[in-house]
């Protein structure tokens, strides 16, 4: 059953790819211009790879074999075989490279223009260039006995540009649609402007220089990333209607002349690109906000807003590494509220929470910006004091201890005096997070055992034990 399901999926992917390739080839052969909808399959392939993994490559490779077998039917057998293999490998390779890049960049999120640029170069430009060279080589070999056939360089450029267009248009569009979340925040406002700019580029390209059409892509990226408006919907609607009107007016594919074909094909392309980029941008923005929120929740204690145990321990690891590199002293202090259970028992759990919040606030406000406070759990805190040796750390802790013990905490029923005990440990060469925490804990235990409301250091405690 499982096996059947896999085979069916592979056949569906292969069929879909074959169908789109056939359509684009039909347009391709109807006109001498090589750029018509060739981007449809070159865009769909990487998307399928991104979504369904490497098994898609088999489907694509086999559908390419079929397509190229049909298109090279009249040629000499050896040449035909070489061409089929070259083209199929080129297409499958493009799918693999662009799809892998899509997996990488889309999972990381494309939030900055630099990341977008890297994604374009690695996921689009590079694979498209390799694809273009291999495909044009195939065409060149096939037609080597026919001097009137296409030149190598323009053919390669055409293939390259059409595959860039495919990867740029189809992947973001399909990814955006499949990850669509229903939220009705207004999209970019200057759609009107963007559509006008893009249509102007299209018309200029039609009347003056053909290749200028590709300015539509940077123009849409700039406009979509740089502006916000509600009227976008209206302008997208207008431009799509315009394209449809053009399409309906032109009765059949054969009767289309080259120029109209050109406008139609690229107008559709640029509409797709603008829509896709806008959707993509919106989704990426949401994802980035969510990611930051999750990260914050995972690293912080909800009650005090301090770093939680795992985050402060990670932070300590970083400080130990820094100490080993720079030899700048590092001390830590484990701080534990005295008789905290009594606060809870006498004034309630909510009052206990208030004490925890006020204490963290007070310690933070009395220590340096470079010191880091985290909550290890319960009524236990960890203070990192980079730049302080154990003597300095002791001075800091004694000051804290004095100030906290002599100023009451404001609870709803009455003001209460709270004290804490602390154990200090200083980093030494070769120490670890574990050994440092154990030492601070041992000293804290000693402070508790010897009367609470005090600060303890290793050497003192050894001294006292000896006495």
Interacting residues with ligand GTP (CB under 6 A)? 303, 336-341, 344, 349, 352-353, 356, 378-379, 448, 452
Nearer to ligand GTP, 228 or 349 (CB): 349
* Residue of this chain nearest to ligand GTP (CB atom): 352
Nearer to ligand GTP, 291 or 341 (CB): 341
Kindly state the smallest distance separating residue 339's Cβ from ligand GTP, in Å. Answer: 5
Kindly state the smallest distance separating residue 293's Cβ from ligand GTP, in Å. Answer: 22
Nearer to ligand GTP, 224 or 306 (CB): 306
Nearer to ligand GTP, 338 or 371 (CB): 338
Kindly state the smallest distance separating residue 341's Cβ from ligand GTP, in Å. Answer: 3
Kindly state the smallest distance separating residue 119's Cβ from ligand GTP, in Å. Answer: 44
Task: Yes or no: say if 319 and 384 are a contact pair by the CB < 8 Å rule.
Answer: yes
Nearer to ligand GTP, 176 or 401 (CB): 401
Kindly state the smallest distance separating residue 377's Cβ from ligand GTP, in Å. Answer: 7
Task: Yes or no: say if 141 and 76 are a contact pair by the CB < 8 Å rule.
Answer: no
The dihedral over CA atoms of 429, 431, 432, 434, expressed in degrees to the nearest 10, equals -160
Kindly state the smallest distance separating residue 104's Cβ from ligand GTP, in Å. Answer: 41
Kindly state the smallest distance separating residue 466's Cβ from ligand GTP, in Å. Answer: 25
Alpha-carbon span 336 to 453, nearest angstrom? 9
Kindly state the smallest distance separating residue 348's Cβ from ligand GTP, in Å. Answer: 8
Nearer to ligand GTP, 33 or 344 (CB): 344
Nearer to ligand GTP, 324 or 345 (CB): 345
Nearer to ligand GTP, 171 or 335 (CB): 335
Kindly state the smallest distance separating residue 301's Cβ from ligand GTP, in Å. Answer: 9
Nearer to ligand GTP, 84 or 418 (CB): 418
């Amino acid at each position: 059953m499982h096996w059947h399901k896999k085979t069916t999926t592979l056949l569906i992917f292969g069929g879909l790819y074959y169908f789109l390739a056939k359509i684009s080839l039909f347009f391709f052969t109807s006109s001498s211009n090589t750029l018509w909808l060739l981007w449809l399959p070159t865009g769909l392939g990487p998307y399928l790879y991104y979504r369904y993994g490497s098994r898609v490559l088999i489907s694509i490779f086999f559908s390419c074999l079929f397509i190229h077998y049909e298109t090279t039917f009249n040629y000499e057998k050896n040449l035909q075989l070489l061409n089929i293999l070259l083209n199929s490998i080129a297409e499958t390779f493009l799918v693999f490279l662009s799809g892998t890049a899509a997996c990488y960049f889309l999972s990381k999120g494309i939030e900055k223009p630099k990341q977008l640029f890297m994604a374009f170069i690695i996921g689009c430009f590079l694979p498209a260039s390799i694809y273009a060279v291999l495909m044009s080589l195939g065409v060149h070999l096939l037609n080597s006995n026919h001097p009137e056939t296409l030149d190598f360089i323009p053919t390669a450029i055409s293939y390259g540009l059409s595959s860039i267009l495919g990867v740029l248009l189809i992947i973001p569009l399909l990814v955006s649609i499949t990850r669509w979340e229903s939220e009705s925040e207004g999209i970019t406002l200057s759609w009107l402007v963007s559509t006008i700019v893009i249509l102007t580029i299209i018309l200029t390209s039609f009347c003056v220089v053909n290749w200028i059409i590709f300015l539509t892509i940077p123009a849409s990226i700039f406009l979509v990333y740089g502006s916000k408006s509600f009227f976008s919907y209206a302008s997208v609607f207008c431009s799509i209607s315009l394209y449809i009107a053009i399409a309906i007016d032109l009765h059949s594919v054969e009767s289309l002349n080259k120029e109209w074909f050109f406008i139609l094909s690229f107008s559709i392309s640029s509409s797709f690109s603008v829509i896709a980029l806008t959707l993509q941008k919106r989704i990426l923005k949401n994802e980035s906000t969510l990611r930051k929120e999750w990260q914050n929740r995972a690293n912080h204690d909800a009650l005090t807003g301090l770093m939680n145990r795992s985050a402060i321990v990670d932070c300590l690891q970083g400080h130990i590494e820094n100490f080993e590199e720079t030899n700048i002293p590092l001390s830590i202090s484990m701080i534990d509220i005295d008789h905290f259970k009594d606060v809870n028992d006498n004034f309630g759990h909510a009052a206990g929470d208030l004490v925890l919040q006020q204490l963290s606030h007070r310690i933070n406000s009395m220590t340096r910006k470079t010191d880091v406070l985290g909550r290890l759990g319960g009524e236990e805190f960890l203070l990192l004091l980079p730049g302080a040796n154990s003597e300095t750390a002791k001075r800091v802790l004694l000051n804290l201890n004095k100030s906290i013990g002599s100023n009451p905490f404001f609870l709803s029923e009455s003001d209460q005096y709270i004290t804490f005990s602390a154990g200090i440990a200083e980093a030494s060469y070769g120490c670890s997070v574990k050994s440092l925490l154990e030492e601070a804990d041992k000293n804290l235990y000693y402070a508790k055992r010897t009367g609470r409301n005090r600060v303890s250091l290793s050497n003192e405690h050894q001294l006292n034990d000896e006495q």
